[in-house]
Amino acid sequence: MPSRCILVIEDDASIRRGLIDALQFAGYHTKEAATGETGLNLAVRMNCDLVLLDLVLPGKGGLEILREIRTTRPTLPVIILTARGEEADRVQGLRLGADDYVVKPFGVAELLARVEAVLRRSPSRPTDVASVRIPRGEVDLARSEVRFDSGRRVELSDRECELLRYLACNRSRAISRDEILSHVWRISPDGLSTRAIDMHVARLREKLDDNPAQPHVILTVRGKGYMLA
């Protein structure tokens, strides 16, 4: 049985109670919040594995909470809960980095299936990575710079740091370009060219002194994507 913890941020007491009951019956640990401020505080500070996030909340709205979660805990999975007529909000939520959405009213079976699918795609997501060791140096992600043992320093862009952080958080597997678009660029990969991913990887390799012909830091996995060595 699952033993992961799921945070439910929902202001409607009956819906929140139903979500909690369904999740606990399925074997999950749960935490709950009825306001945006409380929900954001729990999402940032507590050790949870996934957030179910209503978009319409008193105080901070769901999209504002999602934006802050993606800043402070970029790898935390989030499923947004929306009403049937809120298509624009669903699209914006996905662009901000939500992993999936469930439309109200929803069935318990659908909800649990989506939760299981998102957790399955995120088998081992640490909350963050502060630094990455590379040959002849180290990347300080908090300061957005590469520090080589020789004393040379190279500055990284925010996007380059996010890309390297995501690869480091998923070090044990190859990351597809579509997944990078979804979780680093935070946009839907449907119908989009992934050429931008390759260009960013090329620039990042250059800054890391990672030979593109024989890379030792960011590996290209043929037919799959990229992986941190």
Residues 152 and 89 both lie in one domain: no
Beta carbons within 8 Å of 169's beta carbon, 6+ residues apart: 74, 75, 125, 126, 128, 129
- pLDDT tops 60 at residue 127: no
183 exposure class (CB count in 10 Å sphere: 0-12, 13-18, 19+): buried
pLDDT at residue 1, as a whole number: 37
Task: Give pLDDT tens digits for 198-223.
Answer: 999 999 999 999 998 899 999 999 88
Distance CA 38, CA 31 (A): 11
Q: Quick one: pLDDT band at residue 124, thresholds 50, 70, 90?
A: very low
Mean pLDDT score of the chain: 86
pLDDT at residue 191, as a whole number: 63
Residues 116 and 136 both lie in one domain: no
From 86, 101, 121, the end of a domain falls on 121
pTM to 2 decimal places: 0.55
Residues 108 and 165 both lie in one domain: no
Residues 111 and 177 both lie in one domain: no
pLDDT at residue 126, as a whole number: 46
Query: Of the given ranges (23-27, 141-145, 213-217), which has the lowest mean pLDDT?
Result: 141-145
Residues 104 and 147 both lie in one domain: no
Would you give the distance in Å from CA 104 to the centre of its chain? 23
Residues 139 and 113 both lie in one domain: no
- pLDDT tops 60 at residue 59: yes
Q: Is residue 101 within a helix (H) or strand (E), and if so which, with residue range?
A: strand 100-104
Residues 10 and 93 both lie in one domain: yes
> CATH number, domain at 217?
1.10.10.10
Alpha carbons within 13 A on the beta-carbon side of 56 = 10
Residues 9 and 110 both lie in one domain: yes
Residues 150 and 196 both lie in one domain: yes
Output 102 or 187, whichever has higher pLDDT. Answer: 102
Task: Give pLDDT tens digits for 62-117.
Answer: 999 998 888 777 778 999 998 866 678 778 888 888 888 888 888 999 999 999 98
Residues 151 and 110 both lie in one domain: no
| Average pLDDT, integer, range 28-34 | 93
From 121, 142, 165, the end of a domain falls on 121
Q: Domain limits at 96?
A: 5-121
126 lies in some domain: no
Residues 136 and 89 both lie in one domain: no
Query: With the CA atoms of 153, 211, 184 and 181 taken in that order, what torsion angle do they form, in degrees rounded to the nearest 10?
Result: 150
DSSP SS3 for 68: helix
Residues 149 and 97 both lie in one domain: no
